[in-house]
């Protein structure tokens, strides 16, 4: 399996031309920024979480992104209902187990979602992936206390057990499918100082999975684009405020030459 600049660009062109609808059941902190990230890439976001409309929304979506950042029982019911509908329709589900490992409720919910939803992609930081895979971890709120490489074995095991693509974000992003591992070395440290960047990565995974049913490649493409846009934005930013704006602009203005010039992906 090989990630190429032309393959990434082909997916971006398809997203920009088809504007796939990405249904996000996500947290209050990032709804606006996540919607803007998807719009900048060329996808169409919808942020809907009422249980009563889950079937109708999923029926018109091309991908479903579930993010447990601001968790509550009625949101969990909506997430489960939406995922079941997505499975019936054959559309990809991306699960972001935000903060798994921080509390028992959050960890157990994430583990149950991994078991019951059969997502196409699970994307999280090292602590979240380890907790979702039933490895005991220490967290600081929703921040990982481990490096992405520390979670690689847990990601391999979780992927082997569930058959899903597992993406571990960090200084190096690892995208795992069975025994195959893709390493994405793009990105910039300033990205860790802007809230919602991980949530944006999951949303981008949803957009790419909507147009590329090889979910290992879709996730790797999403993480590469995320990292490249972060590098471009950081070079133009004075601090974290301008970083957020410049990141959205970088996605919107991204051209194939940027990908060819900057991508750093290893098999």
> Are 65 and 167 contacting, i.e. CB atoms less than 8 angstroms apart?
no
What are the tokens at 226?
A: 């995320």
Per residue in 64-82, pLDDT tens? 999 999 999 999 999 999 9
Mean pLDDT, to the nearest integer, of 195-210? 97
The b/e string for 86-95 (b: 16+ C-beta within 10 A; e otherwise) is bbeeebbbbb
Range of the structural domain that residue 105 is part of: 5-266
- C-beta neighbour count of 195 within 10 angstroms: 14
- pLDDT, mean of residues 84-97: 98
Q: Domains in the chain: how many in total?
A: 1
Using alpha carbons only, give the angle 125, 127, 131 rounded to the nearest 5 degrees. Answer: 120
Name residues whose C-beta falls within 8 Å of residue 87's C-beta, 6 or more positions apart in sequence: 93, 117, 118
End-to-end CA distance of the chain: 8
Looking at residue 134, what is its pLDDT? 82
| Chain length of the chain | 267
* Percent of the chain scoring above 70 in pLDDT: 96
Cα–Cα distance for residue pair 267/50, rounded to 1 Å: 41
Pull the structure tokens for residue 118.
């059969």
Q: Is 121 helix (H, G, I), strand (E, B) or coil?
A: strand
Distance CA 41, CA 62 (A): 15
Rounded Cα distance between 91 and 117, Å, is 12
Tokens 């979480």 sit at which residue? Answer: 49
pLDDT digits 0-9 by tens, 142-166: 455 678 888 999 999 999 999 999 9
In which residue are the tokens 């090292």 written?
126
Give the predicted TM-score (pTM) of the model: 0.95
Is the pLDDT at 139 greater than 60, yes or no?
no
C-alpha 233/C-alpha 180 separation (Å) is: 30
List the structure tokens of 223: 């993480």
CATH of the domain at 101: 3.40.1190.20
R_g of the chain computed on alpha carbons: 17
* Residues facing residue 227 across a β-bridge: none
């Amino acid at each position: 399996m090989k990630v190429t600049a032309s393959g990434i660009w082909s997916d971006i062109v398809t997203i920009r031309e088809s504007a796939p609808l990405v249904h996000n059941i996500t947290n209050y902190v990032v709804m606006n920024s996540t919607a803007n990230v998807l719009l900048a890439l060329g996808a169409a976001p919808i942020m809907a979480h009422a249980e009563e409309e889950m079937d109708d929304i999923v029926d018109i979506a091309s991908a479903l992104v579930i993010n447990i950042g601001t968790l509550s029982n009625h949101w969990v019911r909506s997430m489960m209902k939406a995922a079941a509908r997505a499975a019936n329709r054959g559309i990809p589900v991306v699960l972001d187990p935000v903060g798994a490992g921080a509390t028992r409720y959050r960890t157990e919910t994430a583990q149950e979602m991994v078991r019951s939803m059969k997502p196409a992609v699970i994307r999280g930081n090292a602590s979240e992936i380890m907790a979702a895979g039933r490895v005991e971890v220490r967290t600081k709120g929703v921040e990982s206390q481990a490096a992405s490489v520390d979670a690689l074995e847990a990601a391999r095991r979780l992927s082997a057990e569930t058959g899903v693509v597992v993406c571990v974000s960090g200084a190096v992003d690892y995208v795992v499918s069975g025994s195959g591992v893709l390493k994405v070395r793009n990105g910039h440290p300033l990205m860790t100082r802007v809230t919602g960047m991980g949530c944006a990565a999951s949303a981008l995974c949803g957009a790419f999975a909507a147009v590329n049913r090889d979910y290992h490649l879709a996730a790797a493409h999403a993480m590469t684009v995320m990292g490249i846009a972060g590098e471009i934005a950081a070079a133009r930013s004075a601090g974290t405020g301008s970083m957020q704006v410049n990141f959205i602009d970088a996605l919107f203005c991204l051209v194939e030459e940027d990908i060819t010039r900057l991508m750093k992906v290893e098999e």
